[in-house]
Amino acid sequence: MSTLPNCPKCNSEYTYENGALLVCPECGHEWTPGEAAPEEGTRVWKDANGNVLQDGDTVTVIKDLKVKGASSPIKGGTKVKNIRLVEGDHDIDCRIEGFGAMQLKSEFVRKA
Ligand SMILES: [Zn+2]
């Protein structure tokens, strides 16, 4: 009897096979078995929709963001090119026209 891996999302052990996919009945997550689970310590950056972000991506800011020391916020809808992912609370390094070098939170952007 083969043992199915736990759900990578919620760690439920009640996963089952559905064709080529594995399905978690508890959180609804579906994935392909054999897909390498992220190694411990390997961070994955995700945008507001849960899409994985990568260095060099272009993202769109999803809401107005106040900037310390700036007279106006970064407006929702602002496109940010060539992001760089970094560790930390603000986990995106980038440059925004009119603001210069900035750090953003990945939860406030959407992959463009
Ligand atoms: Zn799950």
pLDDT tens-digit map of 4-56: 889 999 999 999 999 989 999 999 999 987 765 555 567 889 999 999 999 99
Q: Which phi and psi angles does 87 have, rounded to 5°? A: -75, 150
Are 33 and 22 in contact, with CB atoms under 8 Å apart? yes
pLDDT at residue 36, as a whole number: 58
- From the CA of 29, how far away is ligand 1's center (Å)? 5
| Ligand 1 centroid to residue 40 C-alpha, Å | 18
pLDDT for residue 2 is more than 70: no
CA–CA separation, 77 and 102 (whole Å): 16
Question: What pLDDT score does 85 carry?
Answer: 95
What spacing in Å lies between the alpha carbon of 14 and ligand 1's midpoint? 8
Cα(23) to centroid(ligand 1), Å: 8
CA 43, 84, 51, 48 torsion-angle sign: positive
Q: How far is the CA of 107 from the centre of ligand 1 (A)?
A: 21
Please list all protein residues whose beta carbon sits less than 5 angstroms from ligand 1, which is an ion: 7, 9-10, 12, 24, 26-27, 29
State pLDDT tens for residues 54-110: 999 999 999 999 988 888 999 999 999 999 999 888 999 999 988 999 999 999 999
The overall pTM is greater than 0.75: no
Contact of 11 with 20, CB cutoff 8 Å:
no
How many residues comprise the chain?
112
